[in-house]
Amino acid sequence: MPEPSYIPETLAGVPRSAWPGHIAIIMDGNGRWAEACGLPRIEGHREGAVNVPRITQEASRLGLVQLTLFAFSSENWRRPPHEIAFLMELYREYVVRERPTIMDNRIRFTTIGRRDGIPAHVLAEADRTTEMSAGNRGTVLCLAVNYGSRREIADAARRLAERAARGEIDPAAITEATLASHLDTAGMPDPDLLIRTAGEMRLSNFLLWQLSYAELWVTEKRWPDFREADLHQAMRDFAGRERRFGGLPAESEGA
């Protein structure tokens, strides 16, 4: 992917080499945003959906390799049926409405998570957007829908066990890379930076394997209020951290 020339003032002086390539976001706080505004919870989800293209387009302008958004977790099925139906319709509307923007910005759209439970007409529209954008070479936009990380890892282990039972793979030869290649995110880079809105300090069963060495950045802002400047600040803070991946600080090497 060619390096874009766009550098916002809020990232001036931060070397591109220090920018995260893959950012994952837990888009939290839609319901609390609505309640604070005296609105029904579904209005918070609607406003949160409006914010997705804003941040996605900024990620594209910045030339990020990938943006992964936690849109609907496997635990979200516990919510009231009317809220789930509304969220599914928001998902369908998004993948239809944003097709021109996705294509104009050369964004490649994809999803992770199980398909069961999602209405067939919603899946059909998401699949169409995936197929239309498959040849794009810009930022990858990945939506995690009906996704749960523990379930994802269990599914990967099951697939490996089935292959071993058929004699296709030697259990002794299974490595971390082997397991990673059977996850929903196979072929994707691990996130460098995880952003969570609304101040919660937990991962909520999101990309547990993939986030092993990601930097975490939490803001009190709720997702509908999260803006491009907040994304830039998270990137600036990321650039200022030393990522050692279990090793020693650079100045300690050889000491």
So what CATH class is 19-239?
alpha beta
* Residue length of the chain: 255
Return the structure tokens found at 128. Answer: 């169409």
CA 244 to chain centre: 23
Q: pLDDT tens across 222-231, in order? A: 999 999 999 9
Only one residue has tokens 């994952």, namely 24
* pLDDT score of 2 more than 70: no
User: How confident is the model over 158-177, as a mean pLDDT?
Assistant: 97
Q: Do 185 and 207 touch, CB atoms closer than 8 A? A: yes
* Beta strands at 140-147 and 193-196: parallel, antiparallel or unpaired: unpaired
Dihedral sign from CA coordinates of 196, 200, 201, 203: negative
Clarify whether 76 is annotated catalytic.
yes
Q: pLDDT tens across 78-114, in order? A: 999 999 999 999 999 999 999 999 999 999 999 999 9
In 3D space, the residue among 192, 193, 189 whose CA is nearest the CA of residue 230 turns out to be 193
Dihedral sign from CA coordinates of 167, 172, 178, 184: positive
Rounded distance between C-alpha atoms, residue 208 and residue 230, angstroms: 24
The per-residue pLDDT for 243 is 76
Lowest mean pLDDT among 40-54, 108-122, 139-153, 231-245: 231-245
Only one residue has tokens 């809020």, namely 10
Give residue 5's pLDDT band: very low, low, confident or very high (50, 70, 90): confident
Distances (CA, A) of 126 to 15, 45, 79, 97: 36, 19, 22, 11
- Every domain of the chain and the residues it spans: 19-239
- SS3 for the chain is CCCCCCCCHHHCCCCHHHCCCEEEEECCCHHHHHHHCCCCHHHHHHHHHHHHHHHHHHHHHHCCCEEEEEEEEHHHHHCCHHHHHHHHHHHHHHHHHCHHHHHHCCCEEEEECCCCCCCHHHHHHHHHHHHHHCCCCCCEEEEEEEECHHHHHHHHHHHHHHHHHCCCCCHHHCCHHHHHCCCCCCCCCCCCEEEECCCCCCCCCCCCCCCCCCEEEECCCCHHHCCHHHHHHHHHHHHCCCCCCCCCCHHHCCC
Q: Which of 76, 205, 225, 230 is catalytic?
A: 76
* pLDDT score of 129 more than 60: yes
Q: pLDDT tens across 36-59, in order? A: 999 999 999 999 999 999 999 999
In 3D space, the residue among 203, 232, 252 whose CA is nearest the CA of residue 26 turns out to be 203
